[in-house]
Amino acid sequence: MREVAVIGVGMTKFGELWGKSMRDIFVEAALKSIQNAGVDRIDSMYVGSMSSGLFVGQEHLGAVMADYLGMNPIPATRVESACASGGVAFRSAYFEVASGNSDIVLAGGVEKMTDGADVTDALATAADQEYEVYQGVTFPGLYAMIANAHMHQYKTKREQIAAVAVKNHKNGANNPNAQFRGEITLDQVLNSTLVADPLRLLDCSPVSDGGAAVILCSMDIAKKFKGTPIRIKATAQASDTIALHSRKSLTSLAAVSVAAAKAYKSAGITPKDINFAEVHDCFTIAEIVVSEDLGFFEKGKGGPAVEKGFTSLGGKIPINTSGGLKSKGHPVGATGIAQIIEVYEQLTGQAGKRQVKNAKIGLAQNMGGSGASCVINILEAL
């Protein structure tokens, strides 16, 4: 297996992009990544997208995007793993380069969620249709169950969960591509509209449009291009029962802990070696649970860690310096790639006011549904 580098990144602003089609959004991000890397060709392409057929009625995305990007006849493949589609597209591109099959590959993600589809129904396809959706359960409801279980088992405070949103909006205020760039207060979170007890509106990531893309290439040619290379140190993936009721615990996400163990072993590091992380905070409680399952904190200590500032910029382990899904936005297929872009910008010193000091190793954790799939990518500065 060859070593693989990321040499270029590009993304659109996230938000309600009414004036752009899905293909417009993807091509904008892809062209930015190609220009940023300084490559004159790509050998292959992967497009992460969760529900393009439901959102905009368009399937066969690989061919559509290769055509509109002007890259035919390269192989182009759509990748789906619910909200982890972008991260798995990146992992797929990594293996194609590492195997020697291609030298330069584009990994992208895109979603157009605001064009009239029933978003709740579309997102619910990532849950168990027969045993969860049929009974009326939505993802806010599922994550509310996780939150209630965590609060009961570990005495996690409601204010600690809300503090995740406050922190991430503070980071997102300094991200020019974020959907919501305004800071919020703890009181605003706690007094926002109730969605699924105990989660409120400001505990939930938004409905978003957006695209993101990165260029991967073999390490032996990485320095021939103008983009600053960083090393892909490890990638790992795991899955769990799709239905929440089939799991042994509601306060831990097994797919996250299993994928994390594999990634750390592959990279030859421990959680203590990670300088910062982008994690899948689709709901505020998710960040707390994931931070524990990644090994950053003991079980039950994730809430107090946020409260004490350990996960803030400048803290022990900064989490979601981009603003996370909560502030940056969550166009589901693009989210995993956008996480990689934040890691890239941190490791190359391009994060501006969000910059983590002495950032050498970063982790991106992307998951689908209520944690039924999880992919973890670890990257390192050269």
Q: How do residues 72-102 score in pLDDT, each as one tens digit?
A: 999 999 999 999 999 999 999 999 999 999 9
pLDDT confidence of residue 284: 98
The whole-number pLDDT of residue 65 equals 98
The domain over range 4-118+208-230 is classified in CATH as 2.60.40.10:
no
Facing residues of 363 across strands? 277, 378
Domains 4-118+208-230 and 128-205+232-381 equal at CATH topology level = yes
Given the residues 150, 169, 280, 330, the one annotated as active site? 330
Structure-token pair, residue 141: 């409801």
The answer, yes or no, to whether the previous bond of 73 is cis (omega within 30 of 0) is: yes
Q: Is the pTM of this model over 0.95?
A: yes
Residue ranges in the chain whose pLDDT is less than 50: none
Strands 373-381 and 209-218: unpaired
**Of 83, 217, 282, 374, which residue is the catalytic one?**
83
**What's domain 128-205+232-381's architecture?**
3-Layer(aba) Sandwich (3.40)
User: What is the SS3 assignment for the chain?
Assistant: CCCEEEEEEEECCCECCCCCCHHHHHHHHHHHHHHHHCCCCCCEEEEECCCHHHHCCCCCHHHHHHHHHCCCCCCEEEECECECHHHHHHHHHHHHHHCCCCCEEEEEEEEECCCCCCHHHHHHCCCCCCCCHHHCCCHHHHHHHHHHHHHHHHCCCHHHHHHHHHHHHHHHCCCCCCCCCCCCCHHHHHCCCEEECCEEHHHECCCCEEEEEEEEEEHHHHHHCCCCCEEEEEEEEEECCCCHHHCCCCCCCHHHHHHHHHHHHHHCCCHHHCCEEECCCCEHHHHHHHHHHCCCCCCCCHHHHHHCCCCCCCCCCCECCCCHHHHHCCCCCCHHHHHHHHHHHHHCCCCHHHCCCCCCEEEEEEEECCCCEEEEEEEEEC
83 is catalytic: yes
Length of the chain: 382
Q: pLDDT digits over 298-313, tens only?
A: 999 999 999 999 999 9
Q: What pLDDT is stored for residue 116 in this prediction?
A: 72
Enumerate the domain spans of the chain: 4-118+208-230, 128-205+232-381
Q: What is the pLDDT of residue 354?
A: 98
Say whether 169 is catalytic.
Answer: no
Both tokens assigned to 144 = 């509310």
pLDDT at 105: 98
